[in-house]
A and B are shown apart, each in its own frame.
Chain A
Amino acid sequence: MIETHTQDTTPSFLEYKGRFKGLMGWIFSTDHKRIGLLYLYSMLVFFSVAAILGLLMKLELIAPGKTIMGAQTYNSFFTLHGITMIFLIVVPGLPAVFGNFFLPIMIGAKDVAFPKLNLVSWWIYIIGAFIALSAQFMGDGAPDTGWTFYAPYSFKTGTNMLPAVLGAFILGFSSIVTGINFIVTMHRMRAPGMNWMKMPLFPWALYGTSWIQVLATPIVGVTLLMVVLERTLQIGFFDPALGGDPILYQHLFWIYSHPAVYIMILPAMGVISEIIPTFARKTIFGYTAIVVSTLAIAFVGYFVWGHHMFTSGMSGVALYTFSILTFLVAIPSAIKIFNWVATLHKASIDLQTPFLWALCFLFVFMIGGLSGMVLGALSANVHLHDTAFVVAHFHYIVFGGTGYAFFGALHYWYPKMFGRMYDKSWANIGLAMFFTGFNTLYLPMFYLGMTGMPRRYYDYVDKFHGPNIISSLGAILMIVGLIVIITNLVRSARYGAPAVKDPWKGKTLEWTVASPPSLENFDEIPTVTDHPYKYE
């Protein structure tokens, strides 16, 4: 039971006239909802570019030999695709867009704890993005190291590395600032009556994510700075010729970058935990277990980075330790899956578009997770390392996990964000095309990897031709699906039917305020007296 007073008569945050008008009213707004949308629009632009690069790479691989680009261009394309997708979209993704927009509303607050810092965070993000992307267009050619910037190649390559590394370093600050903001917001600004165990699961996921952002990001920041110093001052952190250790770079990079996978996936799990009970019309099964598993993933996720380095030449003790720890982290992830499936048992399911996205998430995330178990096993990893299998696994987890949850969240909260309904038929058609294209694109890559096709090569031997054709056709279908989805959403923002306050019959606080919400969300801070998913 939630006691709240909402305002349907006051202007929405989209109509609100502040100190500045037009574009300035957006880029200098400290309203958490406008900042969330700023991130959304920025990310859609970056995502379009990175997705086109991915499509061009798949077109290059549609036949052996040079098809549409040479080796160096291909190297630059997968580097830019990786940097953009990881640092500009997937890592900030869900927290920056939906966390910013919905965290304060879902915990009954008028804004985040530090609104100005929140705006600074977006500006740092934009500045970091421009610096990172400028590396592609100036100097001695676009970087060709891949998004991991592995040493010693990253300080030996003649391409324009420094802006890319510096951009990633600056982007880290945006992540840290957002993390601190969210942690303080959840500690200090929850509505009266909302104790920790009455907080919805999306904020809980953001809480775990924020701690990783705050504690792990500085490590990659320092590491990237060390690469800059290595390139400019020849210090010898990672270069064996100068007395350095290249494996140290891999340790430092993955100490951040593996927890970063949980920065990507924990909020996605939070979104799924919101969507499933809403459309199952049922209290979520095992709320406490989901909360504990969120924190367990955030904690254990710190200690599994070595599974990216099984063939690097690490000690045997480290190899066994990381392999065991990798299997351990699967347990809390599986707990969540079982809880979601148990929630669906005997539920009154309403098959709306966001729910279909959540179901697709479960399907692809299971494939991604189980293929991760294959890679976590030392003996199998040695054979599959740096093959197309890893690329397929990674995309099933990151694109299949975070990507599906992102689009699921967008379809779930779209009526609340824009005050309009989208066309459900086109949304479902787009999803069907996207889902079919996605699996046609990535499933053959498991087979290709198992039969020996390495990743990051623009060419391959003839025996890989057939699966590569299927994969490339899947990429085309997936992109067409994406165009349908995005066109439908963009068009509906103007022409869609007006959305009511609670179109999905949700129970969390965001469904008690107007669609779209007013500037301060609530006229009066609500009092929470019950569990967030009380359906029965």
Chain B
Amino acid sequence: MDNGQHTHIVKYSTFVWILIILLVLTFSSVAITQLDLGVYTVTGALLFASVKSVIVLMYFMHLKFDKKFYAIMMAGIALLLTSVIIVTFLDYLYR
């Protein structure tokens, strides 16, 4: 019966690739803390973490294969949290 929902089977090889990418990004986010980049160290680590989150959301949580509405909601939430982080850094960058 068509209940308006789709099932999408992701190939195992895709999951393996995602695992590898997540591991590389995890090591990268640790490695960047060893470099003295000033405030960009935190920015870099946050970027790596954000990319990892997006990959997990898209593939493991099937956002890529779901209705666009949910992706828009997630984007709104991400924008909100990004804004919160930026406002926090108005303190740290100018203190």
Residues of A whose CB lies within 8 Å of any CB of B are 215, 247, 251, 255, 299, 302-303, 306, 313-318, 321
Contacts and interface: CB of A to CB of B under 8 A. Distances in A.
Given A303-B87, A306-B87, A315-B91, 20 more contacts: A215-B77, A215-B81, A251-B91, A255-B84, A302-B83, A302-B84, A303-B83, A303-B84, A314-B91, A314-B95, A315-B93, A315-B95, A316-B94, A317-B93, A317-B94, A318-B90, A318-B91, A318-B94, A321-B87, A321-B90
Interface string B54-95: 000000000000000000000001001101100110111111
Interface of B: 77, 80-81, 83-84, 87-88, 90-95
A302 B80 contact: yes
Contacts of B80: 215, 299, 302
A251 B83 CA distance: 14
Contacts, number: 38
Contacts of A314: 91, 95
B87 to A, nearest CB: 6
16 contacts: A215-B77, A247-B91, A251-B88, A255-B84, A299-B80, A302-B80, A303-B83, A306-B87, A306-B91, A313-B95, A315-B90, A315-B94, A316-B94, A317-B94, A318-B91, A318-B94
B79 to A, nearest CB: 11
Contacts of B77: 215
B88 A255 contact: yes
Contacts of A251: 88, 91
A215 B83 CA distance: 13
B61 to A, nearest CB: 15
Nearest to A251: B88
B83 to A, nearest CB: 7
A316 B94 CA distance: 7
Contacts of A303: 83-84, 87
A186 to B, nearest CB: 14
Nearest to A299: B80
B3 to A, nearest CB: 13
